[in-house]
């Protein structure tokens, strides 16, 4: 049954990708093994270490074509840390009816300064692929396995000259770990600089990371006013929008939130995530990507384990001990730890 669902979703996204002017995202929705909507109290900002892989041709020096400059890459982080903290300069463009649900998502991103072996790094890998375009299949099956850093502890983002504009995978059983992460077309990565209209403000990565953290498109996996995106405070929406629509637009009996980062409109017209999406993303980190909370990828970020999110209705980590029963607050490489929770359960963790 699930395979049939995947097939249908593939068809629906392919059809969407044929539209001119819309954000061509080939994200394929999948069912998550946990409830994204469990109410949790989020008391701390979660910082996600990021590894950037720039796929470029051999004859492109840094700053030419696909070979993005470090500055272009860093500009993307400024955008992400605005969008996920609601520090974007255009919050005043959010219609007043949506202001009550506009969220500071309490998620930030850092360019990794420590690689999986514990060595210093600038967080950027440059990979040569001498073809004008790269298919998503080749990227997933060949380039990703050759370049990925442990996706339990890093968000891997590839920039490449793909035919779509971007895609990402949710944490789910059906996706091999070597394919996990986010892909953004190089021409739409970062703010200004080499980024091209109409996706020149860095929101393509914001959108794809939204998928990576468990969000569907605002109209849901299917068009029509059927099942929506499963988030209560994003209004039901018939289909996606593109270009920069005038406000308001209505469908499914309500005003549509087409300026949500998970819609397809131009970068200049996107400006919010909602409180419901924030909860869904933190539930996804907690249940689908808990390693991100324990990562040593950014030395400025102290990994304080999964207690970082204070869960009201779920189990809570009390302490972690090693095989000798000694309490350990920070793990090292190749270490086995046992996590002891307040409900009496114990979980064996291996850190490689
Ligand atoms: Zn998308």
Q: Can you give the CATH number for the domain in which 20 is found?
A: 3.40.390.10
Tell how far the Cα of 18 is from the centroid of ligand 1, in angstroms.
14
Examine the fold and report which residue of 235, 261, 284 is the final residue of a domain before the chain moves on: 284
259 belongs to a structural domain = yes
**pLDDT score of 223:** 86
pLDDT at 63: 98
Ligand 1 centroid – CA 207 distance (Å): 6
* Same domain for 341 and 267: no
- Coil, helix or strand at residue 22: coil
User: How remote is the CA of residue 12 from the centroid of ligand 1, in Å?
Assistant: 12
At residue 221, the pLDDT reads 86
Residues 58 and 133 reside in one and the same domain? yes
Asked whether residue 295 is domain-assigned, the answer is no
Considering the domain architecture, whether residues 101 and 204 belong to the same structural domain is answered as yes
Give residue 302 CA to ligand 1 midpoint distance, Å: 31
Does residue 331 lie in a domain region? yes
Q: Are residues 108 and 230 in the same domain?
A: yes
Residues 83, 261 contacting (CB under 8 angstroms): yes
Question: How much distance in Å is there from the Cα of 25 to the middle of ligand 1?
Answer: 4
Give me the number of domains the chain comprises: 2
**How much is the pLDDT for 3?**
32
Quote the CA–CA distance of 278 and 46 in Å, as a whole number. Answer: 12
CA of 211 to the centre of ligand 1 (A): 7
- Its pTM stands at 0.83
pLDDT of 17? 43
Contacts of 54 (CB under 8 A, 6+ apart): 66, 67, 68, 73, 124, 125, 126, 127, 158, 159, 186
Q: Look at residues 284, 308, 330 and tell me which one is the last residue of a structural domain.
A: 284
Return the pLDDT at 323.
73
Q: 60 CB contacts (<8 Å, ≥6 apart)?
A: 66, 67
Catalytic status, residue 208: yes
Last residue of a domain, one of 262, 284, 306: 284
**What pLDDT is attached to residue 30?**
81
Q: Are residues 203 and 332 in the same domain?
A: no
What per-residue string of b and e applies to 203-234 under the rule 16 or more CB within 10 Å gives b? bbbbbbbbbbbbbbbbbbbbbebeebbbbebb
| Residue 323 alpha carbon to ligand 1 centre in Å | 43
Rounded Cα gap, residues 135 and 10, in angstroms? 16
Please tell me the distance between residue 242's alpha carbon and the centre of ligand 1 in angstroms.
Answer: 13
Residues 133 and 246 in one domain: yes
Tens of pLDDT, residues 318-347: 777 777 777 776 566 566 777 776 666 666
Q: Provide the residue range defining the domain that includes 12.
A: 2-284
- Residue from 208, 275, 308, 327 carrying the catalytic annotation: 208
Residue 206 C-alpha from the chain's centroid = 7
In a domain, 221, yes or no: yes
> 30 and 137: one domain?
yes
As a whole number of angstroms, the distance between CA 127 and CA 142 comes to 12
Q: Are residues 250 and 348 in the same domain?
A: no
Residues 70 and 180 in one domain: yes
The pLDDT of residue 320 is: 72
Are 125 and 191 contained in the same domain?
yes
Interval between CA 15 and ligand 1 midpoint (Å): 13
Alpha carbons within 13 angstroms on the beta-carbon side of residue 192 total: 3
Is residue 304 domain-resident?
no
How far, in Å, from the CA of 28 to the mean position of ligand 1?
Answer: 8
Same domain? For 257 and 344 the reply is no
Cβ atoms of 304 and 130 closer than 8 Å: no
Is residue 300 included in any domain, yes or no? Answer: no
The owner of tokens 């970068």 is: 267
Cα 14 to ligand 1 centre (Å):
12
Instruction: Output the pLDDT for position 207.
Output: 98
Residues of the chain where predicted confidence (pLDDT) is lower than 50: 1-18, 305-313, 352
- Do 332 and 255 fall within a single domain? no
């Amino acid at each position: 049954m699930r395979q049939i669902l995947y097939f249908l979703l593939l068809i629906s996204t392919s059809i969407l990708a044929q539209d001119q002017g819309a954000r061509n995202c080939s994200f394929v929705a999948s069912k998550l093994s946990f409830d994204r909507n469990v109410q949790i109290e989020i008391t701390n900002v979660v910082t996600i270490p990021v590894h950037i892989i720039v796929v470029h041709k051999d004859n492109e020096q840094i700053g030419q074509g696909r070979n993005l400059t470090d500055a272009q890459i860093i500009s993307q982080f400024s955008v992400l840390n605005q969008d996920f903290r609601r520090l974007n300069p255009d919050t005043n463009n959010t219609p007043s009816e949506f202001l009550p649900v506009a969220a500071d998502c309490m998620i930030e991103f850092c360019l990794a300064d420590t690689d999986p072996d514990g060595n210093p790094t600038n967080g950027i890998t440059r990979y040569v692929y001498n073809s004008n375009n790269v298919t998503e299949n080749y990227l997933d099956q060949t380039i990703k396995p050759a370049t990925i850093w442990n996706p339990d502890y890093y968000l891997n983002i590839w920039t490449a000259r793909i035919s779509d504009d971007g895609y990402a995978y949710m944490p789910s059983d059906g996706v091999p770990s070597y394919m996990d992460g986010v892909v953004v077309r190089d021409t739409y990565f970062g703010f200004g600089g080499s980024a091209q209209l109409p996706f020149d403000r860095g929101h393509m990565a914001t959108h794809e990371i939204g998928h990576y953290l468990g969000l569907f498109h605002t109209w849901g996996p299917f068009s029509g006013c059927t099942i929506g995106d499963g988030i209560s405070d994003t209004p039901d929406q018939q289909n996606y929008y593109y270009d920069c629509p005038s406000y308001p637009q209505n469908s499914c009996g309500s005003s549509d939130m087409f300026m949500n980062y998970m819609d397809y409109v131009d970068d200049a017209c996107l400006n919010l995530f909602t409180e419901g999406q924030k909860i869904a993303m933190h539930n996804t980190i907690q249940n689908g990507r808990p390693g991100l909370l324990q990562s040593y990828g950014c030395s400025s970020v102290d990994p304080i384990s999964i207690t970082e999110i204070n869960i009201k209705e779920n189990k809570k980590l009390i302490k972690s001990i090693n095989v000798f029963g000694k309490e350990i607050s920070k793990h090292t490489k190749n270490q086995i730890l046992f996590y002891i929770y307040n409900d009496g359960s114990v979980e064996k963790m291996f850190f490689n």
